[in-house]
Structure formats: structure tokens, C-alpha cells
Structure 1
């Protein structure tokens, strides 16, 4: 029998399960909505949907490297406890590996086949939700690649190899020694983890951000009461300082603060044996930008005590 879109929509609204899962449930149960609900519950898919409303801001960031490409992913859970679960760690490692093969595209990675299974990455996440009993979410992924050189990975606060709280990739193009290039790349990646630069260079900073900074500096400079031409020079000086502090290549290198990152890369060319060009970086910090629900524990306890009374 054919399953209508209306039936799929109704089941999805009742259970919160995915569209394809709802269609499969209805197909298996001959279009019987109630039976389909039970089918989803039996598979743990309806259970996963009920947990989807809970905020998942913990979890792990993972990196994976394949040749001259690498990817970083973030998979969230509700509690830090789950991040120490072997099955969850294996999930994040596998998702990172699949992300490399799919150019870091989050949606393609989610839809791609999960290693060793006959279903997708997204389906594997849902299965683990049902097994572990916490909401989980494959939130994002990104990949970098070079034509000749290395993409150096770094994990800060690593729980196990390749998994932790902050993940960084740095892409360096060079025909020189790959081993020496990788050492340099990891140092630069550690720097990125520590300083969280806005962009690689001044040219790559969002113009909206630059204009906002300029407007602030202009208002500050006007308060000095100095002539317009002096104010203009003051503003330009502060913009230069802003770029020095917020763009990777102009920042003081944490490994050797006497050099900028750009100068350190140039100095490393002697060891690497060829010119080096930093082409990109990416930094994922676990949970950044996720709105976490603030709970007042004392109020919750008082409310519970009041309810019992």
C-alpha cells in the first residue's frame, strides 16, 4: 500500500521521529498509526525524539586526518559524563573520519553511511540516544585540505587521542619536509586554541566587525577634543592594533612572543627546506554559541518541597 505524506506528517508530529523513520514505520505496519507509534518506540526512535528538546551542550570535539585533508567535528550530549563513554567516543571518531571523506559538509556527513553499519551517521546517533538515554546531536563539521603540505590537527584538553574540548586544524602549503611542517603546524594550532583569532589575516576579517570597531574607536577619539586629522590617525592606529591582536598571522606567537606567527612561519622555512604559506585554520570549542538553560537549583528544591507539602 502507498503511504501518504499526510500520514507521515501526522506520525512525525506525534513522535518527533525523522521523516524516513516514520515512513518506514508506516510501511511496516500497513499504515496503522498506533501500531507505527509502537514500532518506533520499540526501535528506540520515538524515545530519541522525546529527548530532542533537552539542551545538549556537552560532548566532544573530534579531529581526523586522511592524507592532505583533515576534518573537525562537534557531537553534543547533555552531560560531560557521556563524553567519557567508550561508545560515544567511538561515535565521534567515526563521524570525524566520515567528515573527512565528505569534505567537512555537515549534511552530507550526516546522510553518509556509518562505518560497519547499513545505516547513516544520523541514524547511528539516534540509536546511541536510545541506548545511552541522553539527547545527542551531530552539530557541525568542517574540513581543510592542501594540494601539497599538511593539515595539522590539535586537540586541547584531550580525553583520548583525537577527542577533547577544543579542536583546531591549520593548513600549511609547502613542498618541504612534511615532518617538520607538521611540527610547525601543531605549534600554530596550539596558538590558535589559546588565542582564538578572528581570521587568518586582516583581509579575511568580516568588514561589519571592522566597521563596528572603527565606530567605537572614533567615538573614543572624539572625546579627546583633538583636531579631525589627528582623530583620524588615532583611529587608524587603533585599527592596526586591532588587526595585530585579532588576526592569526599578526599575533605574537605564543611559542616565541618575540615573533609574530607570520614571522615564525617565515623563520621555519630554513628547517622545512621550502617556502611555507598558511592558507586556513578552523577552531571548534565545545558548546560555543549554544544557549544553555539556566536553572536555579535552590528554587527547584524549594518548589519540590512545596509540592510535597
Structure 2
């Protein structure tokens, strides 16, 4: 029977065995997964992976707002099943409440919660529920008016994407509309001046190379780059983007029409930037199976 990368991956995850050992076990047992597990146990090669070493890329983002301050907190779990667990949700909700009095994620981990620190509460939940969990990050927005929005809501105030929008002037309605826009478009910054200089330079280099491939004179190329960079800024900055609710105007114009100025925002999405196990091992497994 042909041994596939998916089979090696499955056996490796279920036993904690090394890649070559997993491949050999499947080869020896003609691809029988249960027999391969037993073979590894017999050889003393199966071991339980520590929970802390397992990838936690699921979970929830919870938002909380009080007195002109909003927080969005991401707490990760290994499976979406746990994210639907009421006990896990209650813990995340309490952590978001504690975050209103914390300056950053490190302070939040040390903050008191139910007679313990937040970090200890998470550790206790790991032991009780049996999955790795991490309090990964928190974002804060402070403004005269802070409006929150949760996309793909799993429970009140928490879901897969949490957004905060800070306004001067305006009202909850325009704040919520802008927050929904942020959830949908994931802008890189509030305005052009807030963009990461490295991101801007990288984009400029790419556009420059593309323009030079046209073979046009340097003066024309400079104009092309100028125009394309302007479009780039319009696409990635919140104030410059076309408003999803009314694409005829920008988000900044929509806010102005409602008597508001956007002074800050935060968008936190569950698992954003975390490399999941499938991505970690796919190339390695394929390479191993390609050899003999």
C-alpha cells in the first residue's frame, strides 16, 4: 500500500513519534493506522506530546468597552470545539473585563481574576479542559466614543473577529458601520502617515520594477509609480478606503458626513499569523516521502 504524506502526518500527530519512525511504522504495517500505532508503542517510539507544544490557532476574540476605553483580547485554543465551550467562553469574557484595567498583555497576564492571576486561570483551564490555550494579545483604543463589533459571533461580545473604532463626535451607528467595514477590509493603518515604512518601501520597490518592465522613459515611470502608490494608499488605509456601505465615498468622508472623526481602530482576528500544524509539516513530509 502506498504511504501518503497525509497518513504520516496523521500518525505523527496521534503518537508524537518522529517523522521517519512514523513512515517506517506505516511501511511495516502496510498502512494500517491502528497497527502502526501499536508498532510504535512496541518499539517505545510513541510519546505523548506536551500540551504546551501543541499549536493553538483556534479560540475567540472578546471585546469590552468602558468609559472611553475599548479592549479586544485574543485567547487561543487548539480546536474550534473548545471555543464553543461555555466554560471557555466565560473565562474569555472575564479576561476581557480584566483587560480594561491593564496596560498591555503582560500586565493582563499578571492581573487578578477570581483570586488568581489571569495567567494562572488560563493554566488551570488547560489542565481541566485538556487543550493548550494561550492568552496571545490584546489591543486597546481610547477615544471620546469607542464602538465595538464582533464578526462571526460565538456568544455576546466574542467571536472570530473583534473590532474597536474610536471616534471624536458622531454616534454609535456610524461607529458600528465603520467597525463592520474594518472587519471586512482589514486596513493596514488609519492613515498614510501611520503605515509601516517597511511596507510602503516594499510596495514601492515592487511597483517600480513593474513600471520599468514597461520600457517607458524614466519620467513616465515616475508618474506611473506616483499614481500606483496613491492607489495603494487608498486601498490599505482606513480613511482612504471606499466605504463598503457606500462605495461612492471614502470612509473618512462617511465619518465626516456623520459629524465624526476617526481617531483610532483595532482589528483582532483569531489565529492571525499563527502557522498551523499542516503548514509546518507539509513540505517536510512530502520531502521525506519523496526519498527512499
TM-score range, shorter chain: 0.7 to 0.9
Q: What is the distance in 2 between the residues matched to 1:51 and 1:210?
A: 39
| Deviation per residue, 1:109-168 (Å, 9 max, x gap) | 110001xx221000000111111111111110111111xx21110100001111100011
Offset at residue 63 of structure 1 (A)? 0.3
The runs of 4+ residues in structure 1 deviating greater than 4 Å are none
Aligned to 2:246: 256
Aligned to 1:284: 268
Aligned equivalent of 1:166, options 150, 161, 164: 161
Aligned equivalent of 1:218, options 196, 200, 208: 208
Task: Give SS of 1:240's match.
Answer: helix
Task: Give SS of 1:248's match.
Answer: coil
Task: Give SS of 2:258's match.
Answer: helix
**Higher RCO structure, 1 or 2 (CA under 8 Å, sep 6+):** 2
Aligned to 2:38: none
> Which has the larger strand fraction?
2
Aligned to 2:180: 190
Q: What is the distance in 2 between the residues matched to 1:218 and 1:159?
A: 44
Q: What is the distance in 2 between the residues matched to 1:250 and 1:153?
A: 21
Task: Give SS of 2:243's match.
Answer: coil
Offset at residue 240 of structure 1 (A)? 0.1
Q: What is the distance in 2 between the residues matched to 1:239 and 1:113?
A: 47
Aligned equivalent of 1:247, options 228, 237, 243: 237
Q: What is the distance in 2 between the residues matched to 1:78 and 1:223?
A: 46
Task: Give SS of 1:154's match.
Answer: strand
Written as runs of structure 1 = structure 2, the 5 A alignment for 1:88-127 is 88-103=88-103, 105-114=104-113, 117-127=114-124
Task: Report the number of matched residues.
Answer: 234
Aligned to 1:131: 128
Task: Give SS of 1:189's match.
Answer: helix
Offset at residue 98 of structure 1 (A)? 0.8
Offset at residue 87 of structure 1 (A)? 0.8
Q: What is the distance in 1 between the residues matched to 2:246 and 2:261?
A: 19
Q: TM-score, normalised by structure 2?
A: 0.78
Q: What is the distance in 2 between the residues matched to 1:244 and 1:209?
A: 14
Q: What is the distance in 2 between the residues matched to 1:154 and 1:257?
A: 21
Kept in 2: contact 1:99–1:142 (CA 8 A) = no
Offset at residue 50 of structure 1 (A)? 3.3
Q: Which runs of 5+ in 1 are unaligned?
A: 1-48, 175-179, 270-275, 300-309
Task: Give SS of 1:158's match.
Answer: strand
Backbone CA RMSD of aligned residues = 1.6
Q: Which runs of 5+ in 2 are unaligned?
A: 1-48, 286-292
